[in-house]
Amino acid sequence: MNPAAAHTDAALHPASTMATNAAGMARYDDAMAGVLPGYFDIVADHGEGIWLFDVEGNRYLDLTAGIAVATTGHCHPRVVAAVEAQARRLLHTSVVTRNAPAVALAERIGARTPFLDQPQVFFCNSGAEAVEGGLKLARRVTGRPGIVAFEGAFHGRTLGATSVTTAKQHYREGYGPLVPEVLIAPYGNVPDALEALDALLDARTDAEDRSTIACMLVEPVLGEGGYVVPPVAWLEGLRQRCDRLGALLIFDEVQCGVGRTGRFFAAERFGVRPDVVLFAKGIASGLPLGGLVASRALLEQWPVGAHGSTFGGNPVSCAAGLATIEVIDEEHLCDRAERLGEIGIGRLRAAGAADPRLVREVRGIGLMIGIELASGDDAARVQQRCFAEGVLVLNCGPHGEVLRLCPALTITDAEWDHGLRVLTAALAD
Ligand code: PLP
């Protein structure tokens, strides 16, 4: 091959330089840091809707959506067209100038938060950055240090986000000292969670009996921690306590937001009003984008220059975000998530009832479904069986014991049926 052609292949279609999964994996293992975990030892070549294709041409029904990211499926034509058009027009401005896709997307996201007064948006690149933004906002505007987070939560890999993450001890080990003044309270599925929270809060008043708590940061549906849907009364209890303390209630909707629960934001689904909503993952169907949305009155208290981002609100990512929201509306994806979720939970519960020693619980909301098995080994076994049948399923939970389904919201009835058949057969095997 002449060197110029090799160069073009590497830039335009790198997967074409890997003839087999094994060859790609060998290069991966040499070139990439081993710290990044991987689920399946295949190299993806392309994707189309719910399907992923590896470099050998095998196809897989993807019930992972790249960890709850590909909301509109892989390479939805509307998203691809928006990205292509924007890539030709302008790739990047940073804060040097304003960019139109970011403005338009902020308006669209604001329109999805009827529970916020005059919403405004801050854009960054990822979920962890959205968390950092939320925590910094809370400390800056309240002038208090205290952060309440919850057991089992996953908020990301930066040092601040790691400090509020307890989904697995491994995520925190060896990184101390972590950010101070973080209190960890039980999540809402634990009996007497609010009483335990109150005890923690009581201990955090200063000499003049003023609270030192800036915010409570909560996933309205626990993601990595095991796909747990808390009682609404618990979320309402957090709201009441934040009101009493003058603290901000921050919903981390990085995983559960953007239609997955059957509403654009889970806050709406639960009818509980947060002060700040964090989003990332599914907002741009796979392009890197995150952010937070809050009322104008709150964001006006964050001084100019007190926070920022070079890439946040990148025009191409925002164009993908605009197309994502259009597809969600036009294809009624929130309704679809709710309906297919109910079908899935019903079928999986029926399948699980046949073997209650293996299947401890089936739970979820919308297209965010967790199947808690007896152990992490059981989950790994079922996952491998599904993989052998060409279906990709993730796991989560403290010991990896929860199989989780978070497919693209565009999955068709027939594709969902196929995935559920393979999964229920694997559970019964
Ligand atoms: N918050 C939640 C609820 C998440 O599930 C995740 C990622 O899984 C994050 C934050 C971190 O997002 P990112 O990996 O984009 O930094």
Q: Read off the pLDDT of residues 385-424 as tens digits, 9 standing for 90 and up.
A: 999 999 999 999 999 999 999 999 999 999 999 999 999 9
Secondary structure of the chain: what % helix, strand, coil (to 5)? 45, 20, 40
Q: Which of 122, 123, 150, 154 is catalytic?
A: 154
Question: What strands, in cross-sheet order, belong to the sheet with 276-279?
Answer: 119-124, 290-295, 276-279, 248-252, 213-218, 146-150, 182-185
Cβ(66) to ligand 1 under 6 A?
no
Atom of ligand 1 nearest to the CA of 127: 12
pLDDT, one tens digit per residue, over 284-330 is 999 999 999 999 999 999 999 999 999 999 999 999 999 999 999 99
pLDDT bracket for residue 246 (50, 70, 90): very high
Average pLDDT, the chain: 96
pLDDT at position 4, please? 56
Cβ(132) to ligand 1 under 6 A?
no
pLDDT at position 133, please? 98
The CA 17 to ligand 1 mean position distance, Å, reads: 31
Cβ(351) to ligand 1 under 6 A?
no
Query: What H or E segment, with its residue span, contains residue 159?
Result: helix 159-163
pLDDT at position 6, please? 59
Instruction: Specify the residue with its C-alpha closest to ligand 1, atom 1.
Output: 155
Q: Is the pLDDT of residue 234 over 90?
A: yes
Task: Pull the structure tokens for residue 285.
Answer: 């169907």
Atom of ligand 1 nearest to the CA of 125: 15
What single-letter amino acid sits at 10? A
Cβ(317) to ligand 1 under 6 A?
no
Cβ(65) to ligand 1 under 6 A?
no
Q: How far apart are CA 376 and CA 357, in angstroms?
A: 14
Is the distance from CB of 408 to CB of 63 less than 8 angstroms? no
Atom of ligand 1 nearest to the CA of 281: 15
pLDDT, one tens digit per residue, over 162-184 is 999 999 999 999 999 999 999 99
Is 168 assigned a catalytic role?
A: no
Q: How far is CA 166 from CA 77, 163, 257, in A?
A: 38, 8, 21
Q: Which of 252, 275, 279, 387 is catalytic?
A: 252
Mean pLDDT, residues 275-282 taken together: 98
Cβ(219) to ligand 1 under 6 A?
yes
Three-state DSSP at 46 gives strand
Q: What are phi and psi of 255, to 5 degrees?
A: -95, -35
